Amino acid sequence: MGGCDHMMEVVEERSLIDAAKLIMTALDSNKKISKETRKVLADLGTRLNSMVKFGLSEDENEEEEEGELDGIKERIGSIQEKIMAWEGDDEAMIWDCDPEEAKEYVKTVDEARRLAESLESLNLSKDDNGLLRNVNSVIQTSMARIEEEFRHMLVNNRQTIEPEHLSFRSTEDDGLDEHSIVSFGDDSVDDSIQRDSVSRGAEVFIMDLINPQVIPDLKCIANLMLDSNYGRECSQAFISARKDALDDCLFILEVEKLSIEDVMKMEWVALNSKIRRWTKAIRIFVRVYLASEKFLCEQIFGETEPVSSICFFESSKASMLQLLNFAEAIAIGPHQPEKLLRILDMYEVLSDLMPDIEGLYSDESGSYIRIECQDVLTRVGDCVKATFIEFENAVGSNTSNSAFPGGGNHHLTRYVMNYFRTLTDYSDSLNACLKDQDRVADDQDSSTSPDASPGKNDENNNSSSSPMAIHFRSLMSILECNLEEKSKLYKDEALRHLFMMNNINYMAEKVKNSELRNVLGDDWIRKRNWKFQQYAMSYERATWSSILNLLTEDGFSNSGSSGSTSRTLLRERLQAFYAAFEEIYKNQTGWTVPNTQLREDVKISMSLKVIQAYRTFIGRHTNSISEKYIKYTADDLENYILDLFEGTPKSLHNSYRK
C-alpha cells in the first residue's frame, strides 16, 4: 500500500505541475486577457507551484529549484546579450528599421519580465538575489529604450491636417466686425446688426490623429510597459507627446496663448475678432480634436482602463484650460454694451458643448474639467446679464445736445431695434441668463385704443411673459422716454410730433416684421400703432389748424356780401394763407418721414383736409376775388404737398400767377 500511495502522490504532483505550466502558457499566448484576469491566473499558477514544492521532500525541492535556477541563469544571459546588442545603436529606432525585429525585441523583453516573476516566486538565497537584480536591470534598460520608441512613434506619426469639410478659415475672420461696435450715434446701423452666421457648426467627427498603421505597435508597447509595472513612465511619455500635439491643434485653429491680463488690456476691435475666432475654435477643438484624442487613448490603452482616462485628461487639460481662461477673462472684464452679442455667442457655444464635455470627461479624473467648464459657463452667463443691464442703462442715459435733423428715425431708435431683432436669435440663452432678474417691465402703456383694450388678450401673451420679453418691454419703455426727452429739443411743436410719430412707427414696424412679434406680442404692436397715429394727428393739428382757420367763414356776412370790407378781408385771408403755406413748404420739405407708406398716408390725409378747404373757400368767394389775387390753384397746392418730407428744403416761386 505504501508503494501505491507514493505513486498517487507523484501523479498528483505531476498534475499540479502540468496545470501550472498550462496556466503560464495561456498567459504568454493570449494577450487579450484583461489585467485583472491575468493577475488572478498568475497568482493561481504561483500557488500551484508552491503546492507542488510543499508536497516534495526538502531534497527534491532543492534539486528542482537548483535546476530551475540554472535554466533561468542561462536564459537571462541570452536575453541580456540580445538587449545589449540593440542598445549598441542609440540613434536607430527599432520599429523604424524592421517590424520583425521589433516583434522579436518585444518578445525578448516580455520573456525577461516573466523570468523576473519566476525568480520572485522562488526562495532565493542571498547569493542568488544578484540574479534577480540582474534581470531587473535588463528590464529597466529595455523599458527606457521602449519608452523612447513609444514617444518617437507618437511624435513622428502625428496627423494634424484639418478636415476640409470644417472650413474653419474664412476671410471674414480677418476683417473688422463693424456692426458689433457701432455706437448709438452712427448712421449706418439700419438693418446692419446681424448675428455671426458661422458661429455654429462642427459636429462630432473622429479623425486619425496618429497614423493608423502604427496603432497596433503603440498598443503592444503600452501593454508591455503596463505589465512590467512601468505604467507611469508609459503614461508620461504619452501625455508629453499628445499635450504638444493638442497645443499645435490650437495653433492650427489660430487660438493664441493669452493671459487674463492680456485680454483685459486688449482694445475691443482686436478682442472682438479674437472672440469670434474663439467661438469657432472651441467647437471644433472639442467635437473633432478632443473626440479624436479620446478615441486614440482608448485604442492604445483600452476603453475601460483607468490609464486611458487619466492620459486623456492630462494630455488635454492645458489646452482646455487655455480656452476656458480666455472665456473667463471676457466674463470678468468691463460689461460694455457692444460686447453683448459676442458674449452671447460664447455662452451659447459653451452651453451647447457642455454635454460633449461631460461625455468626454465622464469619470472621476475628468471631474476637474467638467467643474471648470460649468463654472466658466455660469460666469459668462452672469456677464451676459450684467452687460444687458448695462445696455439698458446706456439707452436710458443717452443724451443729445441738439435736435435730430429732419425729425426722422433717430440713430438710437434704429440701433436698439436692430439690436433687439438680432437678440431674438439668442432667445433661449437670454431667457436662461435673465431668469434670475426679478424685474417687472415698466411698459408705461396706460393708454388704450379701441382694438387694444385692457381686457383683451392676444394669442402671444403666453410667449411674451418670458424673462427676455419682460426686459425687452422695459427697455422699449426706456427708449420711448428717452425719445420724448429728445423731442423737447425741437422748437417747432409740429416737428416734435413728427419726430415721435416716425420713431414709434419705426419701433412698431420692426416688431411686426420680425421675431420680436413673438416676444412682445400683438397687443404691444397695436398700442404703438395707436400711439404713432395720435402723434400724426397732433402733427396735423399743430401744422394746419391755424392755417385752415383762415379758410373759414368767420368774419364774413351770411349773405356773402362783396362789399369793400369783405373783399379786403378775403385778400388778407388769402395772402395770410399763401404765406403760411409757403412757410410750411419751405420748412417741411426739409423734414423727413422715412417710411414710404407712412409718408404717403400723411400726405393724403393733409391733402384731403387742406385742398378740400381751399377749393370750398375759393369756390364760395369766386365772384368776390379777382383772379390776380389767387396765387395757387388747388392742383398746385396738391402737387406742392407731395414735395413734403423728402429731406430737401425747397422754396415756392414768389411771383403771383398771371
pLDDT higher than 60, residue 478: yes
- pLDDT attached to residue 195: 62
pLDDT score at 444:
40
Residue 655 belongs to a domain: no
Burial 321-351 (b: 16+ CB within 10 A, else e): ebbbbbbbbbbebebebbbbbbbbbbbbbbb
DSSP string, 607-638: HHHHHHHHHHHHHHTTTTS-GGG----HHHHH
> What average pLDDT does range 522-531 have in this prediction?
95
Per-residue pLDDT, 411: 94
Tell how far CA 382 is from the center of its chain: 15
* DSSP sequence for 515-574: THHHHH-HHHHHHHHHHHHHHHHHHHHHHHHHHHHTTS-TTS-TT---SHHHHHHHHHHH
The predicted-structure confidence for 136-160, as pLDDT tens digits, reads as follows 777 777 788 888 889 999 999 998 6
Beta bridge partners of 592: 646
Taking 70 as the threshold, does the pLDDT of residue 609 lie above it?
yes
Average pLDDT over residues 215-224: 91
> What pLDDT is stored for residue 527 in this prediction?
96
Distance of CA 268 to the CA centre of its chain: 18
Q: Which of 121-135, 313-327, 640-654 has the highest mean pLDDT?
A: 313-327
The number of domains in the chain is: 4
Number of Cβ atoms within 10 Å of the Cβ of 454 = 9
Q: Are residue 15 and residue 102 in the same domain, yes or no?
A: yes
pLDDT at 465 (0 to 100) = 81
- Residue-number span of the structural domain to which 248 is assigned: 182-387
241 part of a folded domain: yes
- Do residue 76 and residue 142 come from a single domain? yes
**Alpha-carbon gap, residue 114 to 227, rounded angstroms:** 10
Cell readout for 200 is: 455654429
Q: Which residues contact 207 (CB under 8 A, 6 or more apart)?
A: 159, 163, 288, 292
Phi, psi of 245 (to 5 degrees): -65, -40
111 has pLDDT over 80: no
Statement to judge: residues 559 and 613 lie in one domain: yes
Q: How confident is the model at residue 437 (pLDDT cuts 50, 70, 90)?
A: low
* Same structural domain, 471 and 444: yes
* Whether pLDDT at 94 is above 80: no
C-alpha closest to that of 332 among 435, 259, 431: 259
User: How many residues comprise the chain?
Assistant: 658
Which one has a higher pLDDT value, 463 or 345? 345
Give domain status of residue 176, yes or no: no
Asked whether 328 and 261 are in contact (CB, 8 A), the reply is: no
Radius of gyration of the chain from its Cα atoms, rounded to whole angstroms: 44
Examine the domain organization and report whether 186 and 241 are in the same domain: yes
| Residue 429, pLDDT score | 92
Residue 380 and residue 504 in one domain: no
Within-domain flag for 595 = yes
Residue 178 contacts by C-beta under 8 Å, 6 or more apart in sequence? 188
Q: Are residues 96 and 186 both part of a single domain?
A: no
Q: Are residues 381 and 411 in the same domain?
A: no
Least trusted range by pLDDT, from 303-317, 437-451, 574-588:
437-451
What's the mean pLDDT in 317-339?
93
pLDDT tier, 651 (very low <50, low <70, confident <90, very high otherwise)? confident
The answer to whether residues 269 and 187 touch, using CB atoms and an 8 Å cutoff, is: no
**DSSP states of 300-319:** HH-TT-HHHHHHHHHHHHHH
**Does one domain contain both 379 and 327?**
yes
Q: Give me the DSSP letters along 261-280.
A: HHHHHS-HHHHHHHHHHHHH
Is residue 324 one of the residues assigned to a domain?
A: yes
- Claim to verify: residue 10 and residue 128 sit in the same structural domain: yes
- What does the alpha-carbon distance between residue 431 and residue 393 come to, in Å, rounded to a whole number? 19
Task: Please say if the pLDDT value at position 344 is more than 70.
Answer: yes
339 with 192, same domain: the answer is yes
**Is residue 496, in this structure, part of any structural domain at all?**
yes
Q: pLDDT tier at 342 (50, 70, 90 boundaries)?
A: very high
pTM greater than 0.85: no
Question: Burial of 638 by CB count in 10 Å (0-12 exposed, 13-18 middle, 19+ buried)?
Answer: middle
Residue 262: which region, alpha, beta or left (left: phi > 0; alpha: psi -120 to 50)?
alpha
88-102, 481-495, 512-526, 635-649: which range is least confident on average? 88-102
Average pLDDT of 309-315? 95
Residue 596 pLDDT > 90: yes
pLDDT grade for 438, boundaries at 50, 70 and 90: very low
pLDDT exceeds cutoff 80 at 14: no
Specify the range with the lowest mean pLDDT, choosing from 64-73, 134-143, 540-549.
64-73
Residue-level pLDDT at 198: 42
Q: What is the CATH number of the domain that holds 283?
A: 1.20.1280.170
Q: Are residues 22 and 146 in the same domain?
A: yes
pLDDT at residue number 204: 78
Tell me which residue of 358, 491, 380, 488 sits closest to 429, measured CA to CA.
380
Q: Residue 134: is its pLDDT beyond 50?
A: yes
Nearest CA to 422 out of 176, 183, 179, 193 is that of 193
Q: Is the pLDDT of residue 495 over 90?
A: yes
Q: What average pLDDT does the chain have? A: 79
Please enumerate in sequence order all residues whose Cβ is within 8 A of that of 159, keeping only pairs 6 or more positions apart, or say none: 207, 208, 209, 210, 211
